[in-house]
Amino acid sequence: MSILEQIKEVTIAGDAVKAEELARQAVNEGIAPGEIIQDGFIAAMTVVGEKFKNQEIFVPEMLRAARAMQAGLKVIKPLVVGGEIKNLARVVLGTVKGDLHDIGKNLVGMMMEGAGIEVIDLGIDVPEEKFVEAVKTYQPHILAMSALLTTTMPAMRSTIEALERAGLRSNVKVLIGGAPVSQKFADEIGADGYAANAGEAVDKVKELLQ
């Protein structure tokens, strides 16, 4: 079994110690960070999501798999983020209210930092008023929101509405993403941009700055 397949297997099994160990080994073998993330960890999460949907596994197993992925990502982060700070733009980032998923958001933040973008990460389950407050305080170029549940997508719309009520909508561009989100939804709620993955999110930030 290749090392990426092993990473996938141990992550599905929720073995954080092995996931971290194998991620280190893969890095030492010179495998590109993007490949480790995509073909190892994200591939594992796709299987985990399928198994959960088919009721072959339940929330505790899904949580263990997420922890294993996070342990592996810790090893890879320094390679992606690097040392140089360029501050190309400032982004306020968060997972919307009611939503506790943060792996995708963290990857987005990591890729942005790697591209020289300053990221202020508000974490998970972020209510509209906290996003609004952060826009006032940090005056970012972009407000970036993540949602992984169809039930939390409406919080993106209500955050945009809250920005409008606060008179801040024209001060900031809004970028959204997450598995159930689409360009169509972004258009519907009046977001300025949508990105399907972390790499695209970086490109979108650059595009929105122009």
Binding to ligand B1M in span 2-41, by CB under 6 A: none
Binding to ligand B1M in span 96-115, by CB under 6 A: 98-105, 107-108
Q: What x-and-dash track marks residues 52-71 binding ligand B1M by CB under 6 A?
A: xx-----x--xx--x-----
Q: Which stretch binds ligand B1M (CB under 6 A): 2-10, 13-21, 23-31, 49-57?
A: 49-57
Report the interhelical angle of 59-81 vs 103-114 (nearest 10°).
0
C-alpha closest to that of 68 among 21, 33, 125:
21
Note whether 118 and 90 are within 8 A (CB): yes
Q: Is 153 in the site for ligand B1M (CB under 6 A)?
A: no
Out of 76, 112, 117, 198, which residue is the one contacting ligand B1M (CB under 6 A)?
198
Q: Is 209 in the site for ligand B1M (CB under 6 A)?
A: no
**Backbone φ and ψ of 155, nearest 5°:** -65, -20
Question: What does R_g of the chain's alpha carbons equal in angstroms?
Answer: 17
Report the interhelical angle of 43-53 vs 59-81 (nearest 10°).
160
Supply the minimum distance, in Å, between the C-beta of residue 151 and ligand B1M: 6
Q: What x-and-dash track marks residues 113-132 binding ligand B1M by CB under 6 A?
A: --------------------
Supply the minimum distance, in Å, between the C-beta of residue 42 and ligand B1M: 5
* 148: Cβ contacts below 8 Å, ≥ 6 apart: 95, 99, 101, 104, 178, 179, 180
The site that binds ligand B1M (CB under 6 A) totals a number of residues, namely 38
On the CB side of 36, CA atoms within 13 Å amount to 29
Q: Which residues bind to ligand B1M, rule: CB under 6 A?
A: 42, 45-46, 48-49, 52-53, 59, 62-63, 66, 98-105, 107-108, 144-146, 148-151, 175-180, 195, 197-198, 201
